[in-house]
Amino acid sequence: MTDVLVASRRDAEKIASPGLMLGLATLGFAVNFWAWALISPLGPMFRDQGTLGALSESDVALLVAVPVIVGALGRILVGAFTDKYGGRLMFPLVSALTIVPVLFIAFVALDSYALLLVGGFFLGIGGTAFAVGVPFVNAWFPPERRGLAVGIFGAGMGGTAISALTTVKLYTGVGEKAPFLITAAVLGAYAVLAWLLMRDAPGRTVPTTSLVSRLNGNARLSITWQASILYAAAFGGYVAFSVYLPAYLKTAHGLSAADASNRMAGFVVVAVLLRPMGGWLSDRFGAVPVLTGGYAVVCVCAAISAWTPPLDGVGTVVFLAMAAALGSGSGATFALIAQVTDPARVGGVTGLVGAAGGLGGFVPPLIMGYVYGRTDSYAIGLVLLSVTAALTLVLTLTVVRSTVRNTVGSTVQATEGSTA
């Protein structure tokens, strides 16, 4: 058996290529996000069935938001560890660790709200896979192709669509443990595949300073906090809708749990498809124009959706337009990071920015649940989203644009100096 594994690793060394590594990373991101989003489609069902007791809208919002917050904060450390140890180790490790809470929920927690919160807490480990993939993929591609490459990798967030389309059907049609057992098996298979085939990019820069000093240094970079705000609005908005949309559609529009999950999957698919497009457009035209257009669309569409237009017309259009804008904005944010950040710091910066994006997805569901519980309306929450997008648009056109210009100018001067 050992000889077989050694031979497999040697073969992997020979066939390692940027395309293969990108494909493996994207697959890993999708699988881990599938696990990360397992609880979200079941939240409204748990409330309606009463198997966990009488749950309020705020209780459901907390249940679906807990994995988001843990996945967000965990990215800070996981991104820094990826800079140090590489994605070849971190991808299979994160995938293997995520199996534990998935099985815990399947065999221990399905009849207890408190235990589901515990399981959801550790399920957040799957959400940290994002901070592994960005520096891993970034190192395999030249600067002029990183926007598209990282955007393609980001399409792995479509793992939430897999969860939306399959979890409820498997839970009701096959058995309550089925979605969790299947996901655990897929995670295990991917962990083995990644261990055998993944390789870190040749010449990858490995930091030599301590973890604390790297985190401190990354946090002090201006691009870190700027990109954190951008990503909190873009990816945070996406995460918020992807985890809370089933509950929103069921309550505001009277849809069944299955229909709401299917429509949420459509939202996710649009966002997933537009994320690589956002990266590609950023490679060609710059990240700032792409971000500007995205936040403008979100600002307008969120304001329209606050009036709860019918889903058979304007309602569906504005939600899909927001999905496209949030997806392209997420891709453009990491294209921006790749353009202006030292490659040795990409993992650490990605972890911090990714954490901000996760936090951006954690807060809105809680606000929506809280506001609805007191007003029987989601309008205030959606208006707040519109205002947030407008403020982020102003930041993009002023501070972020200035940072990009200064970075490009410094790079040109350094290049001319070295040439001279």
Q: Phi/psi of residue 249, each to 5°?
A: -65, -35
How many helices, marked H, and strands, marked E, lie in the chain? 18, 0
What are the angstrom distances between the C-alpha of 164 and each of 52, 66, 161, 244? 21, 17, 5, 11
Q: How many C-beta neighbours within 10 Å does residue 142 have?
A: 8
- HEC-encoded secondary structure of 242-263: HHHHHHHHHHHHCCCHHHHHHH
Rounded mean pLDDT, 194-216: 85
Window from 13-17, 176-180, 268-272, 371-375 with minimum mean pLDDT: 13-17
126 located within any domain: yes
- CA pseudo-torsion sign 234, 240, 246, 251: negative
Distance (Å, whole) CA 410 – CA 404: 10
**CA 173, CA 298: separation in Å to the nearest integer?**
37
Confidence of residue 420 (pLDDT cuts 50, 70, 90): very low
CA 262 to chain centre: 19
The answer to the question of residue 419 being in a domain is no
Q: Where are the alpha helices (DSSP H) in 124-256?
A: 129-140, 146-154, 159-173, 178-197, 211-220, 222-253
Chain length of the chain? 420
- Per-residue confidence (pLDDT) for residue 96, from 0 to 100: 96
CB 87 within 8 A of CB 78: no
Q: Confidence band (pLDDT; 50, 70, 90) for 243?
A: low
pLDDT of residue 9: 47
Q: Which two tokens stand for residue 238?
A: 């996406």
- 376: in domain: yes
The percentage of the chain sitting over the pLDDT mark of 70, rounded to a whole number, equals 91
Mean residue pLDDT across the chain: 84
Range of the domain at 93: 2-199+218-411
* pTM, full prediction: 0.74
At residue 139, what are phi and psi to the nearest 5 degrees?
Answer: -70, -20
The radius of gyration of the chain from alpha carbons, rounded to an integer in Å, stands at: 21
Q: What is the DSSP letter of 200?
A: P
> pLDDT by residue (tens digit) across 312-345?
888 889 999 999 999 999 889 988 887 888 877 8
Instruction: State which amino acid sits at residue 273.
Output: L
- The dihedral through the CA atoms of 305, 308, 309, 314 has a sign that is positive
CA distance 117 to 66: 7
105-122 average pLDDT score: 89
Evaluate whether residue 70 is within a structural domain. Answer: yes
Is residue 373 predicted with pLDDT exceeding 90?
A: no
C-alpha 351/C-alpha 135 separation (Å) is: 10
Tell me, yes or no, whether 188 lies in a domain: yes
Of 14, 205, 198, nearest to 88 by C-alpha is 198
Over 50: is that where the pLDDT of 247 sits?
yes
Task: Decide: helix, strand or coil at residue 105.
Answer: helix
Task: Give Cα separations from 124 to 120, 121, 192, 200 (angstroms).
Answer: 6, 6, 21, 25
Q: Is residue 355 in some structural domain?
A: yes
Question: What tokens were used for 360?
Answer: 């951006």
Structurally, the chain folds into a number of domains equal to 1
Q: State the amino acid at position 363 in one-letter form.
A: V
d(CA 365, CA 240): 6
Residue 402 lies in a domain: yes
* Nearest-angstrom CA–CA distance, 155 and 152: 5
DSSP tag of 53 = B
Distance CA 378, CA 373 (A): 9
Q: In sequence order, which residues have a C-beta less than 8 Å from that of residue 374 and are 6 or more positions away?
A: none
309 three-class SS:
coil
Closest CA to 326 of 392, 239, 235: 235
Domain annotation covers residue 208: no
Q: What is the CATH number of the domain that holds 334?
A: 1.20.1250.20
CB count in 10 Å sphere of residue 338? 28
Task: Quickly tell me which residue has 């881990």 as its tokens.
Answer: 32
Residue 417 banded pLDDT, cuts 50, 70, 90:
very low
**pLDDT surpasses 60 at 5:** no
